[in-house]
Amino acid sequence: MSHKKSSHTRETAIRGHIVTFTGDPFFHPANESLRDIPDGLILVQDGITQAVGPYDSLIAQLDKNVVVTTYSDGLITAGFIDMHTHYVQASIIASFGKHLIDWLNHYTFPEEARFSNREYATTIARIFFDELLRNGTTTALVFCSVSPQSVDVFFEEASRRNMRMLGGKVLMDRNAPPAILDTAQSGYDASKRLIAQWHGYGRNTYAITPRFAPTSSEAQLEAAAALHREHPDTILQTHVSENIAEVDWVQSLYPNRQGYLDVYDHFGLLGNRTVLAHGVHLTARENARCSETGTAIAHCPTSNSFLGSGLFRVELAKNTEKPIRVGLGTDIGAGTRFSMLETMGEAYKVAEMTGFSLDGVKLLYLATLGAAESLGIADKVGSIAVGKEADFVVLDTKATPLLAFRSQQVESLQEQLFVLEILGDDRAVAATYIAGELAYRRARQAPPPHPKLSTSKKEPV
Amino acid sequence: MSHKKSSHTRETAIRGHIVTFTGDPFFHPANESLRDIPDGLILVQDGITQAVGPYDSLIAQLDKNVVVTTYSDGLITAGFIDMHTHYVQASIIASFGKHLIDWLNHYTFPEEARFSNREYATTIARIFFDELLRNGTTTALVFCSVSPQSVDVFFEEASRRNMRMLGGKVLMDRNAPPAILDTAQSGYDASKRLIAQWHGYGRNTYAITPRFAPTSSEAQLEAAAALHREHPDTILQTHVSENIAEVDWVQSLYPNRQGYLDVYDHFGLLGNRTVLAHGVHLTARENARCSETGTAIAHCPTSNSFLGSGLFRVELAKNTEKPIRVGLGTDIGAGTRFSMLETMGEAYKVAEMTGFSLDGVKLLYLATLGAAESLGIADKVGSIAVGKEADFVVLDTKATPLLAFRSQQVESLQEQLFVLEILGDDRAVAATYIAGELAYRRARQAPPPHPKLSTSKKEPV
């Protein structure tokens, strides 16, 4: 179940238009942060990228026995990284009419109670991973349920597919139905066992996962912090400041703390291995504290709109003075799309509503290298580079009649990326590679294209 | 090019799960406003619905020579009605980084200037109509360009497809490039000629179309009102209060008017044949005035988010005290989706952000009968009823793996509709009928479904 062992090496080569990041386009111009190789080649050996560059310059290095897979009509980027999602909520996506607290009580808690059933958990986990691959997502940071078994199932499935995944058992010892509560001690013990079993096994990373301040006692937050100190290379993930009523509730539960973020800060839960989902209502002081502690934020636009939570202000995080690491998350099942392309499109709209324009390059960064840096795994994934794990997605700029029609008019890579992000969905994912192996290939598309424009866009008419 | 003439009648019959409105679900419970026929039959003769009801009760009426087309796995509703869109902006969809006024100057005006070229206009019109049918939209209220020829092309294409369409020539005599300006007189004359040629020809309705107050002089608004008085059964369409900067601009251009809506009111442009797009920033007083005059509003959620315009408050319009007729619009090209299903999903999110929940039934109403009533064509389309034109859409609840997975768990029609609206897109449109004839059939779907859940959702586990 861990990395493939083989007596001889396995080599593959992929040719096409390669687009990958070398830096952060929020702080450096695109021509210094984005590598654009119109006819590129990637050489992969045993799941690791050995070379990436122009086809002409690399073809000499290629063993003549290695078959080159060519994608002549698309863009090859690093696999998408979903920074915040709940596999155990895959079946409550598109549930009607609730904001956060009611959503949890009405839909989430009853559904998550089902994950003590291994068969059910396995069925949902497989659907969840299939959806990730259909949508070009190769890595995700995932909430399981309070049941340790739900975590076993999750990492079994991740290992079976050899995907770089991060996740953990929800810690929750109050303010939820008894059937899905643990205690500070039992939650600590179960997490400790799961870390021993899964953390660092194959491509798996364990994430210590208190759901959020309202469902954890002080004792549980202390235990989570202790566990994280004992295993400092795990991730710590939780939620913060998603919804105004939630922020008020936390203040009433923790009256001695200076706001929601300060609860986590007080227990030593912030830091450069911590990922907070949402952060829609963080104050300027709280944003500054995230920056100081190195705490990262997962922005989940489709979820924030669907639950009526509010508009995340990405420009307050991605600023040069007090920068915060940020990536995008789907937040299934409150989020409405598994597609990171559609999540990028929705992030664009949310930013426009706050008066800030996220271009096609910045959006792609938030779903690839930006997320990898936020998760502390940018040495392994997030871009196509020598020595990194070979997780790629091949995007089809002509996946639907409308996308093909619009793509024929683009005049720059930035514009092409933006069109994909606004009009693309799972259909725009032609193929997904995991560690150099083809893990998903889209079935051939059926609808015929629109006619080509007979007059060029730029000609006077 | 008008209604088909034939020496013998043409009869068709469609069988399936029929869902259609008999009233407004905002003001009446769903069981009094929605007709749900799980195994229903529609009999159509010469494009008109002759009977609709349970299959068992109608089968005796059916001529044995008429072939019954059965859709065993879907929902049949009235065709979708898009209350606001611009066919001449189909190719600028997904253009980056501008709010309304800059959007117009940077993208819209240069593109619309191209529509004096008949060949180009025809190419785009065909793509536009193809997209409508792919998305189950059978009627739309459309802005053409300032060029009268763009209107001829539009109605030629509508007539060729025998679709009930509404549209007209943009009137614009200032604050735009000279190449796309008319004058009060030339705009009036051209519109008059187009009304004579197209209004009431086949299924076409002419819409007198001043773009919006900033691009029309007082003389032009007066001329538009005169034209509408001379042809009172045309539609009058324009934009209002989409964007804050626009509202301020109108106030500076018309300093003697009491706000944006009052400009149109002053010139006699409000009334029960008037459709205003957006209305995001209408005041309480302006909303009341829309109600008093019978003026309808087209809510365009994907556009309002994409251009960062703001959040429309549907509950301020659909209230019992001062009700306003409302329907949904895509507002292509500022809107990002031709799909009315996706537009419903986005309307849900916008309403949640304003603290109001739009359920699956209300959303469908806004895209069918609600829009027909707003356009004054509810005697002809908008529901499946005896004597109405037979425009239908067949929705596939299993169109994608995720939609199929989620649909297997629904426990009510309302929930099924909501799941379609949140997760569906063009793929969920299995077939579109125009006047009883199959006008679009989706190519067979390729992706395999997710496995069936082995345990029922409701069983204890």
| Residue B7 banded pLDDT, cuts 50, 70, 90 | low
**Number of A–B residue contacts, CB under 8 Å:** 162
The answer on B213 and B117 residing in a single domain is yes
**Distance in angstroms (rounded) separating the CA atoms of residues B103 and B200:** 34
Q: Report how far residue A185's alpha carbon sits from residue A224's, in angstroms, rounded to the nearest whole number.
A: 10
- Does residue A73 belong to any structural domain of this protein? yes
How many Å is the Cα radius of gyration of chain B? Answer: 22
pLDDT at A450 over 90: no
Task: Write down the mean pLDDT value for chain A.
Answer: 94
A357 in a domain, yes or no? Answer: yes
Residue B453 counted as domain residue:
no
Spatial CB neighbours of B250, under 8 Å, sequence gap ≥ 6: B212, B213, B214, B257, B260, B263
Q: Rounded to whole angstroms, how far apart are CA atoms B322 and B293?
A: 11
Asked whether the predicted pLDDT for residue B55 surpasses 70, the reply is: yes
Could you tell me what percent of chain A has a pLDDT over 70? 95
Contact B307 A352 (CB under 8 A): yes
CA of B294, closest CA in chain A: separation in Å? Answer: 30
Pick the residue from chain A with its C-alpha nearest to B114.
A461
B459 shares contact with chain A (CB less than 8 Å): no
Report pLDDT for B448. Answer: 63
Which of B375, B399, B431 is the C-terminal boundary of a domain? B375
CA pair distance B134, A449, nearest whole angstrom: 12
Q: Do A282 and A154 reside in the same domain of the chain?
A: yes
Q: Which residues of A touch B310 (CB under 8 A)?
A: 353
Q: Which residues of B touch A305 (CB under 8 A)?
A: 349-350, 352-353
- Rounded CA-CA distance A249/B356 in Å is 22
CB contact under 8 A, B117 and A355: no
Q: Across the interface, do A116 and B422 touch by the CB < 8 Å criterion?
A: no
**B410 shares a domain with B328:** no
Query: Which whole number is the average pLDDT over B308-329?
Result: 96
Q: Minimal CA–CA distance to B330: which of B368, B288, B373, B298?
A: B298
A34 touching B (Cβ < 8 Å): no
Residue B284 lies in a domain: yes
* A342 contact B CB<8A: no
- Collapsing DSSP to helix, strand or coil, B264 comes out as helix
Are B191 and B208 members of one domain? yes
Q: Which residues, including other chains, have CB under 8 Å from residue A278's CB and lie 6 or more apart?
A: A84, A239, A240, A241, A242, A297, A298, A299, A300, A303, A304, A309, A312, A331
- Measured from the Cβ of residue A99, the count of other Cβ atoms closer than 10 Å reads 20
**Cα A361 versus chain centre, distance:** 17
Q: Kindly indicate the confidence band of residue A310, based on its pLDDT and cuts at 50, 70 and 90.
A: very high
- How far CA A17 is from CA of A13, A14, A66, B391, in Å, comes to 13, 10, 19, 44
* B106 and B25 in a common domain: no
Residues A306/A336, Cβ–Cβ less than 8 Å: yes
- Looking at B221-365, which runs of residues are DSSP E strands? 235-240, 274-278, 296-299, 326-328
pLDDT of residue B457: 44
Instruction: Tell me which of A374, A394, A415 is where a domain ends.
Output: A374
Is residue A120 assigned to a domain? yes
User: Which residues have a Cβ under 8 Å from the Cβ of B253 and sit 6 or more positions away?
Assistant: B213, B214
- Give the position of tokens 């109509």: B129
Note whether B305 contacts A455, CB cutoff 8 Å. no
Tell me the shortest Cα–Cα distance from A455 to chain B, in angstroms: 7
Q: Which residue among B120, B308, B360 sits closest to A352, beta carbon to beta carbon?
A: B308
CB of A379 closer than 8 Å to CB of A49: no
Q: Taking CB atoms and an 8 Å limit, are B453 and A355 in contact across chains?
A: no
Locus of tokens 């209350």: B83
Of B99, B123, B353, the CB nearest to A308: B353
Residue pair B391/B439 in contact by the 8 Å Cβ criterion: no
In the stretch 298-317 of chain B, residues with CB closer than 8 A to chain A read 302, 305-308, 310-311
Distance CA A161, CA A203 (A): 10
Contacts of A450 in chain B (CB under 8 A): 126-127, 130
Backbone phi and psi for residue A15, each to the nearest 5 degrees, phi listed first: -120, 140
Q: Determine contact: B405 vs chain A, CB below 8 A.
A: yes
Chain A touched by B112 (CB under 8 Å): no
Give residue B446's pLDDT band: very low, low, confident or very high (50, 70, 90).
low
CB B330 within 8 A of CB B338: yes
- Tens digit of each residue's pLDDT (9 = 90 or more) over A142-189: 999 999 999 999 999 999 999 999 999 999 999 999 999 999 999 999
Chain B residues whose CB is inside 8 A of the A126 CB are 450-451
Residues B6 and A448: their CA atoms lie apart, in Å, by: 32
List the Cα angle A208/A214/A216 in 5-degree steps.
45
| Minimum-distance CB partner of A96 among B94, B99, B415 | B415
User: Is pLDDT above 60 for B363?
Assistant: yes
Q: Which of A88, A92, A226 is nearest to A152 (CA)?
A: A88
A373-388 average pLDDT score = 98
- Going along B405-458, which residue ranges are E strands? 429-434, 437-441
Q: Are residues A275 and A299 in the same domain?
A: yes
Q: Does A336 touch chain B (CB under 8 A)?
A: yes
Query: Whole-angstrom Cα distance, residue B131 to residue B339?
Result: 9
pLDDT at B54 over 60: yes
Please check whether residues B46 and B94 belong to one and the same domain: no
Are B251 and B327 in the same domain?
yes
Given pLDDT bands bounded at 50, 70 and 90, which one contains residue B3? very low
Please name the residues in contact with B258: beta carbons below 8 A apart, sequence gap of 6 or more.
none
Across the interface, of B113, B418, B425, the residue whose CB is closest to A94 is B418
Nearest chain A alpha carbon to B98 = A357
Chain B closest CA to A340's CA: distance in Å? 15
B349/A445 touch (CB, cutoff 8 Å), yes or no: no
Q: How far is CA A27 from CA A80, A154, A319, in A?
A: 21, 36, 8
Q: Where are the alpha helices (DSSP H) in A22-170?
A: 30-33, 55-58, 100-103, 109-112, 118-134, 148-160
Residue B445 pLDDT level (bands cut at 50, 70, 90): low
pLDDT > 70 in chain B, percent: 95
* C-alpha radius of gyration, chain A, whole number: 22
Q: Average pLDDT for residues A60-66, to the nearest whole number?
A: 88
Per DSSP bridges, beta strands B274-278 and B204-210 are unpaired
Does residue B451 belong to any structural domain of this protein? no
Which residue from A131, A306, A405 is facing B352, i.e. has the nearest CB?
Answer: A306
CB-CB neighbours of A257 under 10 Å: 17
Band (pLDDT 50/70/90 cuts) for residue A64 is: confident
Q: What is the mean pLDDT of residues B181-208?
A: 98
Cis previous bond, B333, omega within 30:
yes
A1 and chain B in contact, CB less than 8 A? no
Per-residue pLDDT tens for B251-276? 999 999 999 999 999 999 999 999 99
Q: In what order do the strands lie in the sheet with B392-395?
A: B48-54, B34-45, B11-21, B68-78, B392-395, B429-434, B437-441
Does A195 lie in the same domain as A95? Answer: yes
Q: Mapped to the 3 state alphabet, what secondary structure does A275-339 carry?
A: EEEECCCCCHHHHHHHHHHCCEEEECHHHHHHCCCCCCCHHHHCCCCCCCCEEECCCCCCCCCCC
Of A91, A419, A453, the CB nearest to B123: A453
Alpha-carbon span B171 to B239, nearest angstrom: 12
Exposure pattern of A291-313 as b/e (b: 16+ CB <10 Å)?
bebebbbbbbbbbbbbbbbbbbb
pLDDT at residue A3, as a whole number: 44
Would an 8 Å CB–CB cutoff place B330 in contact with chain A?
A: no
A343, A353, A421: best to mutate for the B interface, most B CBs within 10 A: A353
Chain A residue numbers touching B425 (CB-CB < 8 A): 425
Residue where one domain finishes, among candidates A374, A396, A411: A374
Are B264 and B297 within 8 A, CB to CB? no
For residue B184, which of B215, B153, B149, B142 has the smallest C-alpha distance? B215
Task: Provide ipTM, 2 decimals.
Answer: 0.95
Q: How far apart are the CA of A414 and the nearest CA of chain B, in angstroms? A: 10
Kindly tell me if the per-residue pLDDT of B461 is higher than 50.
no
Averaged pLDDT for residues A414-431: 98
Angle at B419 between CA B275 and CA B38, to 5 degrees: 90
How many angstroms separate the CA atoms of A186 and A381, rounded? 34
Residue B133 lies in a domain: yes
pLDDT at residue B10, as a whole number: 86
The pLDDT value recorded for residue A5 is 44
The Cα of A461 is separated from the nearest Cα of chain B by a number of Å equal to: 6
Find the domain containing B66 and state its range: 11-78+382-441
d(CA A228, CA A282): 24
> Would you call A401 an interface residue with chain B, using a CB distance cutoff of 8 Å?
yes
Q: Establish whether the linkage from the previous residue to A333 is cis, with ω within 30° of 0.
A: yes
Distance from CA of B310 to the nearest CA of A (A): 7
The verdict on a CB contact (< 8 Å) between A94 and B423 is: yes
Evaluate whether B389 touches B332 at the Cβ level (below 8 Å): no
Taking Cα atoms as reference points, which of B129, B167, B82 lies closest to residue B367?
Answer: B82
pLDDT of B127 above 50: yes
Q: Specify whether B423 is located in the same domain as B280.
A: no
Q: Which two tokens stand for residue A210?
A: 């208190």
CB-CB under 8 Å, B352 with A308? yes
The separation between the first and the last C-alpha atoms of chain A, rounded to the nearest angstrom, is 61
Contact A343, A244 (CB under 8 A): no
Domain count, chain A: 2
| CA dihedral sign, ordered B104, B108, B113, B118 | negative
CATH code, B111? 3.20.20.140
- Put simply, whether A189 touches B (Cβ < 8 Å) is no
CB B388 within 8 A of CB B379: yes
Angle, vertex CA A193, rays to CA A187 and CA A196, nearest 5: 140
Give the model confidence (pLDDT) of B377-392 as tens digits: 999 999 999 999 999 9
Tokens 């365009």 label which residue? B300
* Per-residue confidence (pLDDT) for residue B9, from 0 to 100: 81
Res. B459: pLDDT tops 50: no
Considering the domain boundaries, does residue A2 fall inside one? no
pLDDT tens-place string over residues A266-309: 999 999 999 999 999 999 999 999 999 999 999 999 999 999 99
Distance CA B152, CA B144 (A): 9
| Cα–Cα distance for residue pair B294/B272, rounded to 1 Å | 4
Tell me the CATH number at A48. Answer: 2.30.40.10
* A-contacting residues in B 113-132 (Cβ below 8 Å): 113-114, 116-117, 119-120, 123, 126-127, 130-131
| Per-residue pLDDT tens over the stretch B60-99 | 988 888 999 999 889 999 999 999 999 999 999 999 999 9
Cβ neighbours around A283 below 10 Å, total: 15
Which of B279, B427, B239, B421 has the alpha carbon at shortest distance from B347? B421
Instruction: Decide if pLDDT at B447 tops 70.
Output: no
CB contact under 8 A, A91 and B453: yes
Show residues of chain B in contact with A444, CB under 8 Å: 446
Question: What whole-number distance in Å separates Cα of residue B297 and Cα of residue B277?
Answer: 6
Q: What single letter denotes the amino acid at residue B427?
A: R
- Say whether both A60 and A86 belong to one domain: no
- Are B405 and A355 within 8 A, CB to CB? no
Q: Is A446 on the interface with B (CB under 8 A)?
A: yes
Distance CA A341, CA A321 (A): 29
Q: Which residues of B touch A96 (CB under 8 A)?
A: 357, 359-360, 414-415, 418
Q: Of the given ranges (B174-188, B384-398, B411-425, B440-454), which has the lowest mean pLDDT?
A: B440-454
B398 to chain A nearest CA, in Å? 15
Q: B71 with B118, same domain?
A: no
Is A359's CB within 8 Å of B97's CB? yes
List all residues 6 or more positions away from A446 whose beta carbon is below 8 Å from its beta carbon: B442, B443, B444, B445, B446
Q: What is the mean pLDDT of residues B158-165?
A: 98
Containing A417, the helix (H) or strand (E) segment is helix A413-423
Closest residue on chain B to A461 (Cα): B114
